[in-house]
Amino acid sequence: MVAFKALAAGALLSTLAVASPTPGSSHARSSSSLLVRKEWRTLTTTEKAGYISAVKCILAKPALTPPFPDSGVLSRYDDLVYTHIQQTMNIHYVGHFLAWHRFFTATYEKMLRDECGYTGAQPYWDWTLDATSEAAFLASPVFDPITGFGGNGPSLAWDPSNPFPEVPGRSGGGCVTDGPWAGDDDVVHLGPAASVTYTPQCLKRDLSPYFAARYLGMNQTQLTLSQPDFGWFNTIVEGQPSFEASGVHGGGHYGVGGNMGQMGDLYTSPADPIFHLHHANLDRLWWSWQSLNPSARLTDISGPLFLMDYANLAGGNATLSTPLSVGVSAADVTVGDVMNIEDCGNGGLCYTYDQLYTLL
């Protein structure tokens, strides 16, 4: 495909992933068919509609997770939300955070294509284009009622009994009133938090344009991209679990989900389809960082195996051999298997991005 050759960094890395046809694997694509992920607003109206209809399809396909009493895992979409809930404490604030989420969204992309006939790549949301001001954030094409994922929920007052601190600048909290999931009281089946019993819920948003402008701008993105090694890079991506020291990861989650929206829920956040556009962009940022020094960064991984276990009291550090599981939706892989997104060998991820961040 011509598109990826135009990328300096992409072309460099793709030499490491020269087409090796892999007979017998239905998952493999040759490098000539690397999927190229694009920014949401650059898709045509038809491409956007095709993506949203594939999301609706996967939301309606019956789950593969074995049934359990009162299971809220109804759909193939729920299979992914469920495994994220189950693993929440093992996949955040750990060395394999980015690797796990890379594998997670690539699995979703593959499900949309293989099970719902979607022919494109997973789109990403480059929030730096919208976080230029609070007004620009609210006007983001991803929130478009017709060609996007719908916008904010109606403003709900803060409940002082909420044990969580209030997200600064949160402005909504109710069910989305426009977009593909408006008026659907049974689009989310799992959560809140770690609950996995069937609880029909609407999709909620609690946008904080303030939080987005603070943590999703090009300044925060450049700070992240300029980190010298993976340990620092990951630390700056995830930030601290404090609204005063967040990073781009929290910026997207709390900027969209605030306190009351699914995106602001550490466990159930993949229940909002915007999750995968946000995580695709985090992945793009990681790939951009890797592409600045591929010989070192295609193998650079560090950080604890257990949540915030920086002193290794509970265990050791993530390595290229650390296993990654997304439950029933794909065979397990290792961190090493997902370090190079352009690897089109047997089982390789085999995608890339149309454009990368560069150091300014």
Ligand X SMILES: *[C@@H]1O[C@H](CO)[C@@H](O)[C@H](O)[C@H]1NC(C)=O
Q: Which residue ranges make up the site for ligand X (CB under 6 A)?
A: 213-214, 217, 219-220, 223, 302, 312, 316-317
Q: Tell me whether residue 198 or residue 210 sits nearer to ligand X (CB atom).
A: 210
In angstroms, give the least distance from the CB of 153 to ligand X.
24
CA distances (Å), origin 170, targets 19, 35, 202, 260, 278: 48, 36, 18, 9, 18
Instruction: Return the structure tokens found at 168.
Output: 């600064």
Distance of CA 306 to the CA centre of its chain: 20
Of 63 and 213, CB closest to ligand X:
213
314's CB contacts (< 8 A; 6+ apart) are: 304, 305, 306
| Torsion of the alpha carbons at 12, 18, 24 and 29, rounded to the nearest 10 | 40
CB-wise, 311 or 331, nearer to ligand X? 311
Could you tell me the end-to-end alpha-carbon distance of the chain, in angstroms, rounded to an integer? 28
| CB 324 to ligand X: min, Å | 19
Beta bridge partners of 351: 35
Q: Please tell me whether the peptide bond between 192 and the residue prior to it is cis, using omega within 30 degrees of 0.
A: yes
Q: How far is the CB of 220 from ligand X (least distance, A)?
A: 5
- Considering the complex, what minimum distance in angstroms separates the CB of residue 162 from ligand X? 24
Burial class (CB in 10 A: 0-12, 13-18, 19+), 13: buried
Cβ distance to ligand X smaller for residue 288 or 317: 317
| Cβ closest to ligand X, residue 220 vs residue 325 | 220
Cβ of residue 208: shortest distance to ligand X, in angstroms?
12
Residue nearer to ligand X on the CB measure, 171 or 317: 317
* Closest distance of CB 244 from ligand X, Å: 10
Give the residue with the Cβ less far from ligand X, 213 or 282.
213
In the bound state with ligand X, the residue whose beta carbon lies nearer, of 137 and 353, is 137
Quick one: 80 exposed, middle or buried, by C-beta within 10 A (0-12, 13-18, 19+)? Answer: buried
Write down the residue that tokens 């990073």 correspond to: 247
Minimum CB separation from ligand X for residue 178, in Å?
A: 28
Q: How far is the CB of 168 from ligand X (least distance, A)?
A: 11
